[in-house]
C-alpha cells in the first residue's frame, strides 16, 4: 500500500462503486471502479464496500474513507434551501465509514443522492448548474446556497425504452451513432412548439424516414433536447458539469437553445468535493 495514502474517497451510485486514493495534498494516487450487485442493504453495505476496497488496495485501507451516494440514504437529510458549506458539519460516521448526507427538497419531492458532493466540489459556482449523468440534475445555487433542484432520469429512461416495450431495439439493426441524426432530433425537441412524443422515433422508422440503426441516436436527441428545453431558456447562463459523450450531447443542446454555456468535468468536481469535505470534517491526518 502506498505510504502517501491519506484518504479514500468513494461514490456508490446504483451498482457502481468508484473510488480514489488521495495523498494529504489531494493528489490522486490511483483510482478504482467495481460493480456491486448486492446493493446497499442495511447491515451489508459497509462489509461489501470494505471488501471491494480491500480487493483494490490489497489490504484494509488504514486511512479514513469518505463516501457519497447510496450508503447515505439512511442518514437524516439536509433540506433546501441550504448552504452547501453545512455539508461538512453533517458528515456522519457509520460502521467506520464517513458518509456525506443527501439534500432533500419537499416540493416537488427530490433528493440529491450524491450530487451534493459534486456541487460542493464546484467551489464558488453560482446560478444554473446542469449535472448531466444517468440521472441529470438541474440545480440553482445562489451565493453558496442550494435553493432548488430537479432530477430527470433522461439517460436511464432512454436505456429502458430501448431495452423493453414498443421502442426496444431490434437485434438485427446494429446501432451506429450518427451526429446528424442526433442533432436533427435534438432540434425538434428544442423547437419551442408542442413537445414531440418519443413514439415519433418508431413511427419515423416504420415510415422509412429514419434508418433503424439510428434509432438510439434519434431517441437520445429527442429526450436530451426535451430535458434541456424544460429547464432553460435562450440567453441563460448555465454551468454544464459532465464528462465524455454526455458533455458533448448536453453542450450541443444548450448551444442550440442559445444558452451561454460554461463546461467543467463532473469527475473532477466529485473528486474535489470528497477531498474538501473530508478535510473540513477533520478526517485528514487521522491514523
Render 2-57 in DSSP notation, one character per residue: -TT--EEEEEEETTEEEEEEE-TTS-EEEEEEEE-TTTT-TTTHHHHHHHHHHHHH
Residues 60 and 106 in one domain: yes
Regions of the chain with pLDDT less than 70: 1-2, 38-39, 193, 285-287
pLDDT at position 287: 43
Q: What is the pTM of this model?
A: 0.94
DSSP state of 206: H
Question: Domain with 226 in it: what CATH number?
Answer: 3.30.420.310
Residues 114 and 162 in one domain: no
The 10s digit of each residue's pLDDT in 183-205 is: 999 999 998 767 889 999 999 99
Q: Is 242 inside any structural domain?
A: yes
Residues 250 and 198 in one domain: yes
Q: Is 84 inside any structural domain?
A: yes
Residues 170 and 258 in one domain: yes
Residues 115 and 202 in one domain: no
Q: How many domains does the chain have?
A: 2
Residues 275 and 242 in one domain: no
Residues 241 and 274 in one domain: no
The 10s digit of each residue's pLDDT in 231-278 is: 999 999 999 999 999 999 999 999 999 999 999 999 999 999 999 999
Domain encompassing residue 59: 7-125+267-280
Residues 246 and 275 in one domain: no
Residues 119 and 160 in one domain: no
Residues 112 and 13 in one domain: yes
DSSP state of 285: T
Residues 6+ apart with CB under 8 A from 92: 72, 75, 98, 99, 101
Residues 119 and 30 in one domain: yes
Amino acid at each position: 500500500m502506498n505510504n502517501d495514502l491519506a484518504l479514500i474517497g468513494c461514490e456508490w451510485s446504483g451498482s457502481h462503486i468508484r473510488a480514489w486514493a488521495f495523498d494529504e495534498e489531494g493528489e490522486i494516487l490511483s483510482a478504482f471502479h467495481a460493480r456491486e450487485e448486492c446493493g446497499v442493504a442495511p447491515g451489508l453495505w459497509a462489509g461489501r464496500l470494505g471488501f471491494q476496497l480491500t480487493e483494490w488496495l490489497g489490504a484494509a485501507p488504514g486511512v479514513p474513507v469518505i463516501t457519497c451516494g447510496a450508503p447515505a440514504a439512511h442518514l437524516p437529510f439536509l433540506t433546501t434551501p441550504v448552504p452547501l458549506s453545512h455539508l461538512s458539519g453533517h458528515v456522519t460516521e457509520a460502521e467506520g465509514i464517513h458518509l456525506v448526507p443527501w439534500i432533500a427538497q419537499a416540493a416537488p419531492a427530490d433528493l440529491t443522492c450524491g450530487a451534493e458532493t459534486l456541487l460542493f466540489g464546484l467551489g464558488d459556482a453560482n446560478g444554473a448548474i446542469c449535472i448531466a449523468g444517468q440521472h441529470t440534475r438541474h440545480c440553482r445555487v445562489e451565493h453558496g446556497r442550494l435553493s432548488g433542484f430537479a432530477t430527470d432520469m433522461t439517460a436511464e429512461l432512454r436505456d429502458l425504452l430501448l431495452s423493453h416495450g414498443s421502442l426496444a431495439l431490434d437485434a438485427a439493426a446494429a446501432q451506429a451513432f450518427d451526429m446528424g441524426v442526433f442533432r436533427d432530433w435534438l432540434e425538434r425537441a428544442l423547437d419551442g412548439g408542442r413537445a414531440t412524443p418519443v413514439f415519433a422515433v418508431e413511427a419515423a422508422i416504420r415510415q422509412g424516414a429514419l434508418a433503424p440503426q439510428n434509432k438510439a441516436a434519434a431517441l437520445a436527441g429527442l429526450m436530451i433536447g426535451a430535458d434541456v428545453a424544460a429547464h432553460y431558456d435562450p440567453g441563460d447562463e448555465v454551468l454544464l458539469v459532465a464528462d465524455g459523450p454526455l458533455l458533448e450531447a448536453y453542450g450541443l443542446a444548450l448551444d442550440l437553445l442559445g444558452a451561454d454555456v460554461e463546461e467543467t468535468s463532473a469527475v473532477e468536481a466529485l473528486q474535489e468535493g470528497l477531498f474538501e469535505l473530508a478535510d473540513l470534517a477533520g478526517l485528514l491526518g487521522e491514523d
